[in-house]
Structure 1
Amino acid sequence: MAVRVVTDSSARLSPDELQRWGIEQVPLHVLVDSTDLRDGVDQLPYDLHTRGHVTTAGAAPAELADAYRKALADSGGDGVVAVHLSAALSSTFSSAVSAAREFGPSVRVVNSRSAAMGVGFVALAAARAAAAGGSLDDVETAARAAVPRGRAFIVVHRLDNLRRSGRIGTAASWLGTALSLKPLLQLDVDGRLVLAQRIRTASKAHAALIDEVVAFVGDHPAGIAVHHVDNHDDADMVGAALTSRLPQLESLVVTDMGPVLSVHVGGGAIGVCVSLGAE
């Protein structure tokens, strides 16, 4: 057997990636008109981010415990490494820590301090270590080593969703008056969403986003995911610019941001998650 990896649906891993690497995924929740819908399991309306009475919820401890129990059995007792959405953005991580207590040291929980494919990159690092025959300690170490190699940025086109979400952290003070801004935000080292730059237009914000990613990557090999909320054209443009300016990239994908995150960041948002290659 081998160590198994569990993550949550914020990770934006494709079904093919989940199957290839044997990663178990736990759904997050979207509450639409009092109906609880599971991300990645139930059919979700495409326009969730435009609705005013939609909320989200993390995975519950019981759901996580069920996933860990199954993964531990599948591992033949070798153990489980669980990689989850930033603790600063969701209750999922604290629920995961609570759920893991049932299994003692056989289940290790890692705070990705990221979102979207930033979570996925950490989960993939763990899964590759497991596929290479790594021990539980090896797989946990691979996941934790991937966390500081990641960085996530996002340009938000509308501020309404962020106001409702309550997840803007230290940038909250300017939300009340910054109606014309297209802010460039980033996840800081603690996984909190904070203001990186105040920018007036979407085109300048996208250019600043590209510059920030290029500066972070430098000459390193890296994997990149460009996410969007109903804004494929701008996401393609950002992806093309990054491919041109960073010829050493190991991979670049363009994909939607997913229903849970789109509820919080709103239509038009463009995000980039980066994972530097291991030294």
Structure 2
Amino acid sequence: MPAAPGARGGVAVVTDSTASLPPEVLDVVDVAVVPLHVVIDGVAHRENVDLSPAGLLDALRSGARVTTSQPGAEAFARAYQRAVARGAREIVSVHLSGDLSGTVGAAGLAAGEAAVPVRVVDSRTVGMGLGLAVLAAAAAAARGLPGAEVAAAAARRSATSTVLFAVETLEHLRRGGRLGPVAAALGSVLGVRPVLGVDRGRIEVVEKARSAGRARARLVELALADAAARDRFDLAVHHLGDEAAGRALAEELRGACGPGLGRVHVAEISAVIGAHVGPGVLAVVVADA
């Protein structure tokens, strides 16, 4: 089991559950995770605590009303207090894009009241774009670097990340306010399946496709073109409730990538992100290694 965050008396690293870090990774890295909330028919659930992605899928398929909410500043205050109690002298708190959620703002409020210095990093991304930045921060902290350098490592990694994804429908993103009505109409009115991406912290349409199969193909082509422009890179593949599809996509990418490929992660997308993208999502994250 990994040491508790802050137990070594150096820099503790905190993130939120939208980082979508796989359980096998969380088992071996020194990171504290603050859960966001999924609200199903008016009842709030902490993702990965009270609600799994499988539970989210059941709710979506049953027609339940599903929304999401950020954790309050008190949730971050408790995480920071636990880190201090375990000996942390500094904290680096790395979170999903502030343009997609108020989570980073809540972390900032708690940071102002913490007993030790807290550096809050807006990753300007989400999913394993955030997760890989968190892993960079954890690695820097494990090397004994000071908080400023740990935060800089997270910011550098997130700045290199590309997040691309294709969904079965844009209705969930439109309903949740994460996609403008014109972009949503591309899918609902014209029958176009866009490939989406995170650009400067916001979800944007990268390319339009005429079918789900073509959208997946372009997802692969765009990710491989992005990877080919890098010397060394890591990949992550996200799915929601379809591990076979996620692993198949990961193997396809692994086979097509050149010698610059580092690690490949396959991770179920967090329930909060899943609530906004819906069943059938496939995503690829590319970031400098």
Q: Give the TM-score, by structure 1 length.
A: 0.92
Instruction: Return 9-18 or 255-264, whichever deviates more.
Output: 9-18
CA distances 1:114-156 after superposition (whole Å, capped 9, x unpaired): 1111111011100000001111122111111112111101101
The correspondence of residues 25-174 of structure 1 with structure 2, limited to 5 A, is 25-44=33-52, 45=55, 46-50=57-61, 51-74=63-86, 76-103=87-114, 106-169=117-180, 172-174=181-183
TM-superposed CA distance for 1:230, in Å, is 3.1
* Rounded Cα–Cα distance in structure 1 between residues aligned with 2:284 and 2:59: 21
Matching residue's letter, 2:174: R
> In structure 2, how many angstroms separate the alpha carbons of the residues matched to 1:182 and 1:155?
8
Backbone CA RMSD of aligned residues: 1.8
Structure 1 residues 267 and 198: alpha-carbon distance in aligned structure 2, compared to 1, 3 A threshold: same
Look up the equivalent residue of 2:286 and give its one-letter code: V
2:249 corresponds, among 238, 245, 248, to 238
Distance 1:14 1:231 in 2: 14
Instruction: Give the equivalent residue in structure 1 for 2:206.
Output: 196
Return the letter of the residue paired with 2:266: V
Equivalent residues of 2:95, 2:121 under 8 A apart: yes
For 1:265, the equivalent position in structure 2 comes to 277
Residue-by-residue CA offset, 1:143-172 (whole Å, 9 max, x unaligned): 111121111011011122122111015xx3
Among candidates 187, 205, 208, match of residue 178 of structure 1: 187
How many Å separate the matches in 2 of 1:119 and 1:174? 24
Contact 1:222 1:275 in 2 (8 A): yes
Shift of 1:213: 1.0
Aligned to 2:224: 214
Question: How far, CA to CA, are the matches of 2:208 and 2:11 in structure 1?
Answer: 44
Unaligned runs of 5+ in 2: 1-8
Task: Provide the C-alpha distance between the structure 1 equivalents of 2:231 and 2:270, rounded to a whole number of angstroms.
Answer: 28
Normalised by the length of structure 2, the TM-score is: 0.89
CA separation of 1:257 and 1:233: change in aligned 2, threshold 3 A: same
Secondary structure, aligned partner of 1:103 = coil
Q: How far apart are the structure 1 equivalents of 2:263 and 2:286?
A: 10
Write the distance in 2 (CA, Å) between the matches of 1:49 and 1:230.
12
SS at match of 1:238: helix
- Alignment of 1:187 with 2:195, yes or no, is no
Contact 2:163 2:198 in 1 (8 A): yes
1:188-225: CA deviations, max 9, x gaps? 0x210000011111111111111111121124221111
Q: Give CA deviations for 1:37-78 in whole Å, capped at 9, x if unaligned.
A: 10111144242333341111111111011111212332x342
How many residues in Structure 1 have an aligned counterpart in Structure 2? 273
Unaligned runs of 5+ residues in structure 1 are none
1:233 deviates by: 4.1
**Partner Cα separation in structure 2 for residue 235 and residue 21 of structure 1:** 23
Partner of 1:147: helix, strand, or coil?
Answer: helix
Deviations 1:85-104 (A, max 9, x none): 11111111111111111127
Q: What is the alpha-carbon distance in structure 1 between the residues aligned to residue 136 and residue 186 of structure 2?
A: 41
SS at match of 2:241: coil
